[in-house]
Structure 1
Amino acid sequence: MNTNVGAKKTELTELPRIGDRISFIYFEHAKINRQDSAITFTDSQGTIKVPAAMISVLMLGPGTDITHRAMELIGDTGTGVVWVGEHGVRQYANGRALSHSSRYLERQAKLVSNNRTRLAVSRKMYQMRFDNEDVSHLTMEQLRGREGSRVRQIYRHQSQKYGVKWTGRTYDHENFDSGNIINKALSAAHTALYGLVYSVISGLGLSPGLGFVHTGHDLSLVYDIADLYKAELTIPIAFEVAANASEEDDIGRVTRLKVRDSFVNGKVIKQIVSDIQYLLDLSENDTLNAEVISLWDDKKKLVKHGVLYTYNG
């Protein structure tokens, strides 16, 4: 039995307001770890503890060594992390997207902010799951119903194929071990898929929170995109694991390894990128690496930056 469960994850309602946080803390030549809900900093002079939820940005200078558990807490509390040069003079790395262009993000925001275009993208997402049917005339309510029937049929088919008893999708976010083998395998498989989708979305410079079908959650777009691949990828893997596993097995680990193996050839990542480009009506030729910065103008739309403008009105 694993007794090292760590501290309870901080609830969103417990996080201090951004305006009440310390602006930033800089450390160098220190070992950074976690103790309960605090980040510990250890150097030659000793150890100090700082509540992670009170920090806006953590600046890590040369000689810093940070643990996985510390990064887990920092992520949970929404604290920014920036790796910088000595005394914070130069910024070397942070969580910046791989893309240097905001083109994808601007396109995403434009499409999701208009009911007509949002519905069009949502229909495209559903159409990708119904190859031989035209769903362009269906309402969102009708599309949800059709999708529900499709997924139930997939579960029944996989249950029969692998001889795994299926009584429905039931799981507790707060208690993974409370589920049966197949539900634990499904949860682990889907979580691994969400992680991959999140990395692609972030790498393209998109907002994970601006979804088209899903809404109101900071991972809405992640759920939108991941749903495109569950039927062919994670659901079959989960049923295969359940068919060959016992209650004594570490279902989460076994499932994650099999999902990882399915990702290793890189085809899934390429498919995700291609599908996102299709959904947002962006071609492969749309550059994401150009270092182009413009100034917005209410009449001319875009004007050059780096220019000292004068107004003679």
Structure 2
Amino acid sequence: MRKIPGPPPPSLPELVRAEDRLTFVYVERCVVHRDANAITAMDDRGTVHIPAAGLGALLLGPGTRITHQAMVLIGQSGATAVWVGERGVRCYAHGRSLARSSRLLEAQAELVTNTRSRLAVARRMYGMRFPGEDVEGLTMQQLRGREGARVRRTYREHSARTGVEWKRRDYNVEDFASGDRVNQALSAANTSLYGVVHAVIVALGCSPGLGFVHTGHELSFVYDIADLYKAEISIPVAFEVAASPTEDIPADARRAVRDRLHDGKLLERCVRDVRRLLLTDDDSPADALPDADVVYLWDEADDPVASGSGYGTDF
């Protein structure tokens, strides 16, 4: 058999765990290619090499061209490619999951399709935002009301801290420039946060579209998880950027979010939170990302059976 050209894909042990990866890299007005197992970004200033195996999300901004080989490497490395722009979140592709098990995905699907378990997960999500408060027994309407009050209070606090006037969250996805400075900064900061969270969700093998609080959108679960961190990451960043004299609000907001995430602790926390929400106390988190490729056959009367065997006896 003729040898397949090009460098071999990275093996599973060579890939970096989702919680240990570089959160995201944003590029624009450049050509993205590959050099062995590194992603390269080239413009008139030179070429930058980015180790693909340790990358969480590659955010492709305006004027970016990416080669087929670069996308192949991103997929092989379990990273996420997200095309983004100033008009909001655009997610057109993602890489191969780091997970070799569908356990988290199956748990997510089971929980979201049962009203009682879905509400329980939603309560746990709100509980993470209200430390020390008892959210058990609250309806979704009550939870939304409490969350709305918390977010409004957060906006007012950062408005007072930075001196930036706050009216309300107001943005038009078709006209980014129509928003005031703080709303533009919020949109740009949230976009970066969504990219990081989306990368973690995909890497763990979960579905970005099966949300518990949000629903009906391909990124519903991304919005669910990102909402856990907005009050401490994207909201304060947006007010600080809006208070600065910058004329390039989207770029400065992205860089500010990057600086907030440089220590990698959000990735660890995000992985831990997703597992905590989807797995029961009896499940082992380590089982969510096994190293071996194991495929079973579903059986309606018993536990899954091994694949790769013939079970017929009449031929």
Structure 1 residue aligned with 2:295, among 293, 296, 308?
Answer: 293
3-state SS, counterpart of residue 294 of structure 2? coil
3-state SS, counterpart of residue 245 of structure 1? coil
TM score, norm. by length of structure 1: 0.69
Report the counterpart of residue 172 of structure 1 in structure 2. 172
Rg larger in structure: 1
3-state SS, counterpart of residue 216 of structure 2? coil
Asked if structure 2 preserves the Cα contact closer than 8 Å seen for 1:297 and 1:303, the reply is yes
Matches for 1:217-236 after TM superposition, within 5 Å? 217-236=217-236
Q: 1:274 to 1:77 in 2, by over 3 A?
A: closer
Structure 2 unmatched ranges of 5 or more: 1-28, 30-66, 74-81, 85-89
d(CA) in 2 for partners of 1:77, 1:106: 23
Asked if structure 2 preserves the Cα contact closer than 8 Å seen for 1:295 and 1:305, the reply is yes
Asked if structure 2 preserves the Cα contact closer than 8 Å seen for 1:277 and 1:283, the reply is no
Structure 1 position 245, deviation (Å):
2.7
Structure 1 position 299, deviation (Å):
1.3
Structure 1 position 300, deviation (Å):
1.9
Structure 1 position 60, deviation (Å):
5.3
Asked if structure 2 preserves the Cα contact closer than 8 Å seen for 1:245 and 1:251, the reply is no
Worse-superposed segment, 190-199 or 279-288: 279-288
Asked if structure 2 preserves the Cα contact closer than 8 Å seen for 1:207 and 1:221, the reply is yes
Matches for 1:199-238 after TM superposition, within 5 Å? 199-238=199-238
Report the counterpart of residue 275 of structure 1 in structure 2. 273
Q: 1:194 to 1:130 in 2, by over 3 A?
A: same
d(CA) in 1 for partners of 2:133, 2:302: 44
Asked if structure 2 preserves the Cα contact closer than 8 Å seen for 1:209 and 1:221, the reply is yes
Report the counterpart of residue 305 of structure 2 in structure 1. 303
Asked if structure 1 preserves the Cα contact closer than 8 Å seen for 2:204 and 2:288, the reply is no
Deviations 1:64-122 (A, max 9, x none): 99xxxxx959xx796x8xxxxxxxxxxxxx93201111111011001101111000000
d(CA) in 1 for partners of 2:158, 2:172: 22
Structure 1 residue aligned with 2:257, among 259, 262, 265?
Answer: 259
3-state SS, counterpart of residue 285 of structure 1? helix
Report the counterpart of residue 49 of structure 1 in structure 2. none
Deviations 1:265-298 (A, max 9, x none): 1101001001111111254322413311101111
Asked if structure 2 preserves the Cα contact closer than 8 Å seen for 1:108 and 1:210, the reply is yes
Matches for 1:116-265 after TM superposition, within 5 Å? 116-246=116-246, 249-265=247-263
Worse-superposed segment, 222-231 or 255-264: 255-264
3-state SS, counterpart of residue 110 of structure 2? helix
Structure 1 unmatched ranges of 5 or more: 6-58, 66-70, 81-93
Asked if structure 2 preserves the Cα contact closer than 8 Å seen for 1:126 and 1:135, the reply is yes
* Structure 1 vs Structure 2 CA RMSD: 2.8
Asked if structure 2 preserves the Cα contact closer than 8 Å seen for 1:214 and 1:224, the reply is yes
Asked if structure 2 preserves the Cα contact closer than 8 Å seen for 1:197 and 1:226, the reply is yes
Structure 1 position 309, deviation (Å):
1.3
Structure 1 position 210, deviation (Å):
0.1
Structure 1 position 311, deviation (Å):
4.0
Structure 1 position 259, deviation (Å):
0.5
3-state SS, counterpart of residue 174 of structure 1? coil
Structure 1 runs of 4+ aligned residues shifted over 3 Å read 59-62
Higher relative contact order (Cα pairs below 8 Å, separated by 6+ residues): 2
3-state SS, counterpart of residue 232 of structure 1? coil
Q: 1:101 to 1:110 in 2, by over 3 A?
A: same
Structure 1 position 175, deviation (Å):
1.3
Report the counterpart of residue 284 of structure 1 in structure 2. 285
